[in-house]
Structure 1
Amino acid sequence: MEPVTFSESGGVRYLHFGSELIQGAMRIRDPDEIYLEYNQQMMAWLLFLETKPGMRIAQLGLGTGALTKFQHRYCPAVKTTVVELNPSVIVAARSMFFTPDDDRRLETLQADAKEFVQSAKYKNQFDAVQVDLYDAICDGPVASSLDFYKGCFDILKGPGVLTVNLFSRHKSFNINLNNICEAFDNRVLLFPESHDCNVVAIAFKGPRLEAEWKDVSKRAKLILEKTGLPTNKWVSGISRENARQENKLAI
């Protein structure tokens, strides 16, 4: 397991795995805020799914617990299951980044995400799956095979939404994107690249989705008003970035 280290600058605390590369960040005065742009975009499932009692989210990779904290605070109907292999990351998320302890809405499993998605126990169990799996080298996701993404598909309900953090400036990008597209029958959208070279992919399971972008924009505005999540640029970014999605969402 990589060593877990920390740094602080300008009121922001950073998580590292024994190198200068950033694995996550938190604004100390606002620990429940999702600080990094790509992390914010990992919440894009909110655009397409209404939160409701009994909804379950699988979060593969804990990091600083940014998504965990946000969902725990702003999505009270949702139960989040976190899968994190490194026990030191779990300890750090709770002690240094103020991630809450497990309760009826939060379950943390020290487990391998690649094995988790292959388990028959979790088949068709989750409304959304968030994947952010990187090691100390950060040159691409540590889980990127077709079998892994087929596993992600299998643990989703239908309708269900997958969000994945990809690194755009590396050969792993096309490998991952191709495997996500194959596992999800090409029902995949991309956010524009963020300033830190991350690209978040959104994949869909279930009935075909068609909606006017103006209606998706209304949903984005509602999320912004309720949570402060900066969704105001999401719709324009997604509609521009993806071919044949300019006029309306159809996937």
Structure 2
Amino acid sequence: MRAQGGGLSQRFGTAFGDNRPILKKRTHTLPEVNFSDDGPVRHLHLGTEWIQGSMYLDEPNALVHEYIQRMMAWLLFVEPDSVKDRQAVQLGLGAGSLTKFCHKVLRMKTTAIELNPQVLVACRGWFKLPAENARLQVVLADAAQEMQNPKWWGTVDALQVDLYDHEAAAPVLDSLPFYNQCRRMLTPQGCMTVNLFGRASSFARSVEKISAAFGKEAVWAFKPTREGNTVVLAQSTPSRPKREVLMARADIIEAQWGLPASKWVRVFKPMLT
């Protein structure tokens, strides 16, 4: 999530344009979804200038933003050969970047939970989200309610949380009960990554709640990106892999999936040292 500068849009479309898929019943309580093209990049918006996700037009499965790439830092805590046998869940579909990457690139079983049906229409129409299949599912639901379904408990290896409204002021869900529910969804080796950003958000307060839910020894954090996003990771079961182990995994992650994992190791550290 980052601010959009002036003069960005070369093309601006709406989720209900003449040649796009149309939902028969529009909602009046959720923001309208639209997009803008900026050269080789397409951005998703929820009725405002704030960017809710992006896609390279010629490389739709790549991760555009640095903070989105860092949401994949859980890969440092698992054996690379085991990734394809794990399950990823995204709370908030955005432009579908993490969902596509986990499904298409990592070959994982992947589920996104999204409140706004217009976002799903946009992702399928403009952001090349594949149709559902045996390994890919999108659940249209309130994440706070859906995650209370016992079918999710103890099943998720990578839980990626990026929940913002159209104003991008603060995380929509950012409470101790919410983070307790997140931890309950994880497998013993599972990790949650969360994007902390917003004009009204507080990194310190959010980390305090995450630490209360997961334990201080389970929480890791990146330095903020230039845009102000800080990605925090929390482990279901705390561990302290040696630096050489993290670097060895980072080398594999870079070679296999093209993510800047060696840089992650340099700007990523446990909150309790």
Flag whether TM exceeds 0.5 (same fold): yes
Contact 2:183 2:236 in 1 (8 A): yes
1:48 equivalent in alignment to 2:58: no
Q: 2:130 aligns with which of 100, 108, 131?
A: 100
Shift of 1:168: 6.4
Contact 2:113 2:139 in 1 (8 A): yes
1:13 equivalent in alignment to 2:42: yes
SS at match of 2:190: strand
Contact 1:169 1:197 in 2 (8 A): no
Shift of 1:172: 3.4
Q: Give unmatched runs, 5+ long, in structure 2.
A: 1-29
Query: How many Å separate the matches in 2 of 1:3 and 1:176?
Result: 28
Tell me the TM-score normalized by structure 2. 0.84
Shift of 1:170: 3.9
1:20-40 C-alpha deviation (Å, 9 max, x unpaired) = 111011111111100011000
1:123-152 C-alpha deviation (Å, 9 max, x unpaired) = 111112100000111011101111111000
1:166 equivalent in alignment to 2:196: yes
1:23 equivalent in alignment to 2:52: yes
SS at match of 1:8: strand
Q: 1:220 aligns with which of 227, 230, 250?
A: 250
Equivalences for residues 7-156 of structure 1 within 5 A: 7-50=36-79, 51-52=82-83, 54-76=85-107, 78-156=108-186
Shift of 1:160: 1.1
Identity %: 41
Report the structure number with the largest CA radius of gyration.
Answer: 2
Moved over 6 A (4+): none
1:2 equivalent in alignment to 2:7: no
Tell me the TM-score normalized by structure 1. 0.91
Query: How many Å separate the matches in 1 of 2:272 and 2:179?
Result: 23
C-alpha RMSD of the superposition: 1.5
Contact 1:168 1:193 in 2 (8 A): no
Residue 189 of structure 1 corresponds to: 220
Paired residues in the alignment total 241
Query: How many Å separate the matches in 1 of 2:38 and 2:247?
Result: 35
1:70-98 C-alpha deviation (Å, 9 max, x unpaired) = 1122212x201110010000111111010
Shift of 1:242: 4.4
